[in-house]
Amino acid sequence: MAEKVLMKGNEAIAEAAISCGCRHYFGYPITPQTEVAAYMAKRMPKIGGTFLQAESEIAAINMVIGAAAAGVRVMTSSSSPGISLKGEGISYMAGCDLPALIVNVQRGGPGLGGIQPSQSDYFQATRGGGHGDYHLIVLAPASVQEMAELTVRSFDLADKYRVPCMLLADGTMGQMMEPVTLGQSGGGTAEKPWALTGTGMRRPHNIINSLSLTPDELERWNVDRYKRYAQIAANEVMYEEYLCDDADVIVVGFGIAARVARNAVNSARAAGIRAGMFRPITLWPFPKEALFARAATAKAFVSVELSMGQLIEDVELAVRCTRPVSLCSRTGGMIPSPAEVLAAIKAAGAAQKGGN
């Protein structure tokens, strides 16, 4: 087994990307994800890769488009305001069916916001973020180990389905250090016959393009893409359940919120309350069937998030409003404390007892 090392989450992303064959990184500095760029700047020249600090996030995502079109594994990373700037490019990537990894180490918003951790880009990430009918595959790590593992998984999924993937982390996940074991996956094996490498005078030219002025053709492209999305939803959903089997109250949260929720669930159990935690790892596709199954036994749900109530909408949709869902959230860079989550669990449990 590979050695356990201590690493910041941001560095783990970078090293994991390199370990699975990513040799091209384009980015622009922004707190709290700059360690990804710094790590790449140090490593890439030594392994024959490209690190390029672009003139803007817009340029960076378009460089990613170029490299992805050329068939290589490529990534960019940024934080919330920078991801907004990349929105145009991300929409083009979806329209062009280009695989790549986009990392968002979220900070508080809107606008310039703050630099402390946040999850308030949930809607932006899970609904696409740019214009048009499309989705990204969105993965939410909750540990430094997952920062590494889900980075590799993102590249694999992106290549498999020709869909851009987003790793949706937050400032805490980026800045914290934990022991991590890095694997060597050796790089993608996906064939990319569509890539722009030159015709070699052996085949017709490849065109990568998202433009069609013929509505029925554009509709067909979108419908075909959504067939792929349906496959992703059927095959690639990931989630973690903690003490859910007998739980009366299930806390739903991802990333740092799930870490806090886990403490609160333990405290609730110690106090005799049957609480559990459900952690979506793929935010898109959302694990709605698995969560709905829990609604058969759980009496109430609590959405724990670092935003004003975004994840809660997917929780409500998933349980199809068969159970009450309450919100426990902080925003602007604040993080709910385990005590706040515990209070929310108690309140949700009490409301159910009162109601029955």
> Interface with another protein by CB under 8 A: which residues?
4-6, 24, 26, 31-32, 50, 52, 54-56, 58-60, 62-72, 74, 88-89, 92, 96, 115-116, 171-172, 175-179, 196-202, 205-211, 256, 259-260, 262-263, 266, 335, 337-339
One-letter amino acid for residue 114 of the chain = G
CA of 230: how far to CAs of 126, 137, 234, 266, in Å? 15, 12, 6, 36
Q: How far is the CB of 354 from another protein (least distance, A)?
A: 29
Kindly state the smallest distance separating residue 57's Cβ from another protein, in Å: 11
CA atoms of 36 and 101, how far apart (whole Å): 13
Specify the residue, 2 or 339, whose C-beta has the smaller distance to another protein: 339
Which C-beta is closer to another protein: that of 87 or that of 324?
87
**In the complex, least distance from residue 12 CB atom to another protein, rounded to whole angstroms:** 13
Minimum distance of another protein from residue 144's CB (angstroms): 8
Nearest distance from C-beta of residue 150 to another protein, angstroms: 17
What is the smallest separation between the CB atom of 99 and another protein, expressed in angstroms? 13
Buried b (16+ CB within 10 A) or exposed e, 176-210: bebebebeebebbeeebeeeeeeeeeeeeebebeb
Question: Which 3 state secondary structure label does DSSP give 75?
Answer: strand
3-state DSSP assignment of residue 260: helix
For residues 314 and 287, what is the distance between their CA atoms, to the nearest angstrom?
9
Q: What's the token pair of residue 118? A: 């946040």
Residue 79 or 126: which CB sits closer to another protein? 79
In the complex, least distance from residue 308 CB atom to another protein, rounded to whole angstroms: 20
Q: Which is nearer to another protein, 190 or 237 (CB)?
A: 190
Considering the complex, state which of residue 199 and residue 231 has its C-beta at the smaller distance from another protein: 199
Rounded CA-CA distance 107/314 in Å is 21
Residue 352: DSSP 8-state: H
Integer Cα distance of 208 and 136 in angstroms: 18
Q: Considering the complex, what minimum distance in angstroms separates the CB of residue 263 from another protein?
A: 4
* Nearer to another protein among residue 54 and residue 190 (C-beta): 54
Residue 214: CB atoms within 10 A of its CB come to 8
Shortest Cβ 4–another protein spacing (Å): 7
Residues contacting 29, CB < 8 A, separation 6+: 37, 53
Query: For residue 228, which amino acid is it?
Result: R
Question: Is the CB of residue 103 less than 8 Å from the CB of residue 166?
Answer: yes
Is the CB of 270 or the CB of 296 nearer to another protein? 270
State both tokens at 166: 């987003």
What is the residue type of 352?
Q
Three-class DSSP labels, 293-306: HHCCCCCEEEEEEC
Cβ closer to another protein: 49 or 324?
Answer: 49
Q: What is the CA radius of gyration of the chain?
A: 21
Reduced to 3 states (helix: H, G, I; strand: E, B; else coil), residue 11 is helix
Nearer to another protein, 3 or 216 (CB): 3
